[in-house]
Amino acid sequence: MEILKRLGSGRLIAFDQDEDARANVPSDSRLTFLDQNFRFLRNNLLFNGIKSVDGIIADLGVSFHQFDETDRGFTFRHNAPLDMRMNRNSAKTAAVLLASLEEQELADIFYFYGELTMARKIAREVVRHRKEKPISTAGDLIAVVSGFTPVKQENKFYAKLFQSLRIAVNHEIDYLKEMLAQALEVLFPGGRLVVITYHSLEDRLVKNFMKTGNFEGKETKDFYGNPETPFRLVTKKSITPGSDEISANSRSRSARLRIAEKV
């Protein structure tokens, strides 16, 4: 709504793959809502007669609605089915991954997406337990891994565990890379890319891409030794919420905002 208030005569294209988001779409002739993943950015813009845009804003967070709706299974705070799909038309839930992936695949998910140091042991325990009983709910999973929780850091541990599964279910890292690469293609020179991230994996990718034009952060230089990059950093460091914002919305505490301008 705030973007539309400030838009003037422009046009806003909004992407959200969660079917529940459509219920909150305002009626405005300047707004086109697409119930798809932003990985289809370029093709959908072309379909709507748009080759280039002045700006792209990507908020990578899970919505309050998704966390608060018990049956979505995004949080360990409710003993709900392990779903975690942002797009409910997708076939694979978190429960399906836990039931079907090999031990090494599960360990990679827990380690790379949750940054859990005991990823291999956790994966081994999951595989052992699922032979006896399906791991279908948040309570089932917590019971399986409870022996690995650090003292006085249980919530942080479970948050990372559930985050890792959610990222895997929704292919979040792969789709983020696809969107960023397409954003560079469709932005006008001088157009701005604005991204809000909520965990270090996303933020590292966005930071590297804005700084160097690649996801590894590998800097290239021209003949004269000047860095070559497709962006000018508008924010040298990420912008984080202040104490007042965190007091008003505690869920904003992990948000980081970065802005870059296409050269």
Same domain, 224 and 154: no
For the chain, what is the domain count?
Answer: 2
Domain boundary among 153, 170, 187: 170
Rounded CA gap, 207 and 214, in Å? 10
Which residue's structure tokens are 């932005």? 187
Residue 38: burial class (beta carbons within 10 Å; 0-12, 13-18, 19+): buried
**CATH label of the domain that carries residue 115:** 1.10.150.170
Same domain, 138 and 48: no
* Domain of 54, in residue numbers: 2-64+172-262
Same domain, 53 and 178: yes
- Residue 164 backbone phi and psi in degrees, to 5: -60, -40
Tens digit of each residue's pLDDT (9 = 90 or more) over 199-243: 999 999 999 999 999 999 999 988 888 889 999 999 999 999 999
pTM for this one? 0.91
Domain boundary among 170, 204, 219: 170
Q: What is the mean pLDDT of residues 168-176?
A: 96
Q: Using the 8-state DSSP alphabet, how is residue 254 labeled?
A: G
Q: Which long-range contacts (CB under 8 A, 24 or more apart) does 119-126 make?
A: 121/148, 122/148, 122/161, 126/98
Rounded CA gap, 76 and 97, in Å? 17
Tens digit of each residue's pLDDT (9 = 90 or more) over 59-117: 998 876 666 677 788 888 888 999 999 988 888 999 999 999 999 999 999 999 999 99
